[in-house]
């Protein structure tokens, strides 16, 4: 693309049914590393800062549009799927006549922006095609060259001869060229082939016939051009993505107990001397500071963890923020809106939601804390619950600094425990408590000497 040429416009083909996926979900919405396939392609496209992005969609059109509400996408409906050439033709009326055009696929998610830039640069001379040398070319169109090594055409597998089927250089489906040439050639693309479809690849033969240079940009990493047509292919691509993510973490100094047993489905940032045990899943945006230890079988989604904190086995954290030197789990659940001050402890079978625990606060066993403000150095005994919901409205519980909550206590919100309150075990607290005093709210214990246990019948 010439330096003074208009910015390229990008057409992404995303209308396919994906029959081999055997799913009601449109193929381009299937998830790879926590994001839809089409989302990965859109990111690569946006990295080029194009003049426009046109997404040709068809199967599950409403679902696809709803998944990507961003205003920079121009949607093009392909009502009837008649092939890739037909799909591109639907988008051309929206493309500027003087633009260069880059054609991508919504189910080929790992292509790099740097590769696409190379493809656009090669299109200065005419038509640029992205190719790859693969061990198993099954399913791909083959790149046919003449004796001098020049590309003469692309043949789809169903139309290929035995000799052509043996070719291992394949067409990745990505093209770059001027909009004027593309529009002219597409009017001459027919459907005289095994599938009775209008193949975009036919423009290669038309370019050759007009003596327009056809340049091949070959990628060395075949995963860049790997498409997804089945659940098996999607699973293989997922493993490749996760292997790359594990390698990135290892190179950054993160200690992974087993690089094959970690899944990053979003963005994971780690400080120094971080260790992650097996079978952990990281979703959304997760930031982990220095010297943090994550135990096995944990799920973290949109979480920030301060220095020196530990998350023990089988804990589930979502939209939570942990200060320094906190300890969570095992078997703890931190729900959205949880904040832990430094050195706070949330132990086994404890659930916290929309609450803040102050510095040094502890809830070590079998507790539910919801819609609460827990002060510093508070000790919450086993079996304590905040009754925050009256069936219509959520109410707040406030526990000020240095309170001690005895085991099996029920706190009926809205309620405030003043600083230094001491709550006797088994109490039901529904009124505010005075500072520095012991509060008990139990029924009197009664023994019935004449009572006899019931007898079983028969």
Which residues are known catalytic residues? 365
CA distance 77 to 56: 6
Q: CB–CB of 51/9 below 8 Å? A: yes
In the structure encoding, which two tokens stand for residue 436, read together? Answer: 């520095």
Longest dimension (CA), the chain: 109
- Residues 423, 424, 426, 430, Cα dihedral to 10°: -40
Token pair 């304590």 in the structure block, residue: 384
Q: CB–CB of 68/24 below 8 Å? A: no
Q: CB–CB of 180/212 below 8 Å? A: no
The β-bridge partners of 316 are: 299, 333
Candidates 82, 27, 86; CA nearest to 195 is 82
């Amino acid at each position: 693309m010439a330096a003074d040429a208009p910015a390229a416009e990008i057409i992404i083909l995303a209308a396919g049914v994906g029959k081999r996926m055997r799913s009601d979900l449109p193929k381009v919405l299937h998830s790879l590393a926590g994001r839809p396939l089409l989302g990965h392609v859109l990111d690569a496209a946006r990295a080029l800062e194009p003049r426009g992005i046109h997404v040709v969609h068809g199967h599950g059109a409403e679902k696809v549009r709803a998944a990507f509400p961003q205003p920079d996408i121009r949607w093009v409906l392909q009502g009837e799927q008649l092939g890739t050439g037909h799909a591109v033709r639907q988008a051309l009326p929206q493309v500027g006549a003087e633009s260069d055009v880059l054609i991508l696929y919504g189910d080929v998610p790992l292509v790099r922006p740097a590769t696409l830039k190379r493809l656009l640069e090669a299109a200065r001379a005419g038509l640029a095609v992205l190719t790859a040398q693969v061990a198993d070319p099954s399913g791909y169109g083959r790149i046919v060259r003449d004796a001098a090594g020049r590309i003469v055409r692309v043949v789809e597998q169903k139309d290929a001869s035995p000799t052509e089927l043996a070719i291992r250089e394949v067409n990745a489906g990505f093209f770059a060229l001027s909009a004027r040439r593309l529009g002219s050639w597409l009017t001459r693309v027919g459907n005289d082939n095994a599938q009775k479809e209008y193949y975009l690849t036919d423009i290669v033969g038309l370019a050759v016939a007009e003596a327009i240079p056809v340049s091949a940009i070959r990628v060395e990493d075949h995963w860049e051009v790997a498409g997804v047509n089945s659940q098996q292919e999607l699973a293989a691509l997922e493993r490749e993505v996760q292997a790359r993510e594990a390698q990135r973490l290892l190179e950054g100094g993160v200690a992974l107990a087993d690089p094959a047993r970690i899944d990053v489905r979003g963005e994971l940032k780690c400080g120094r001397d971080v260790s992650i045990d097996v079978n952990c899943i990281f979703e959304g945006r997760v930031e982990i500071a220095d010297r943090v230890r994550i135990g096995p079988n944990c799920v973290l989604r949109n979480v920030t963890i301060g220095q020196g904190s530990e998350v023990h086995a089988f804990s589930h954290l979502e939209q939570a923020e942990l200060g320094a030197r906190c300890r969570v789990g095992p078997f703890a659940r931190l729900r959205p809106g949880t904040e832990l001050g430094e050195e706070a402890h949330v132990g086994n079978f404890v659930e916290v939601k929309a609450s803040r625990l102050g510095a040094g606060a502890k809830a070590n066993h079998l507790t539910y804390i919801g819609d609460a403000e827990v002060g510093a150095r508070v000790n919450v005994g086993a079996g304590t619950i905040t009754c925050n919901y009256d069936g219509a409205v959520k109410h707040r519980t406030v526990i000020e600094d240095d309170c001690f909550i005895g085991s099996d206590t029920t706190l009926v919100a809205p309620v405030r425990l003043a600083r230094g309150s001491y709550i006797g075990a088994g109490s039901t607290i529904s009124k505010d408590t005075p500072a520095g005093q012991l509060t008990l709210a139990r029924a009197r214990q009664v023994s019935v000497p004449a009572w006899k246990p019931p007898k079983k019948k028969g």
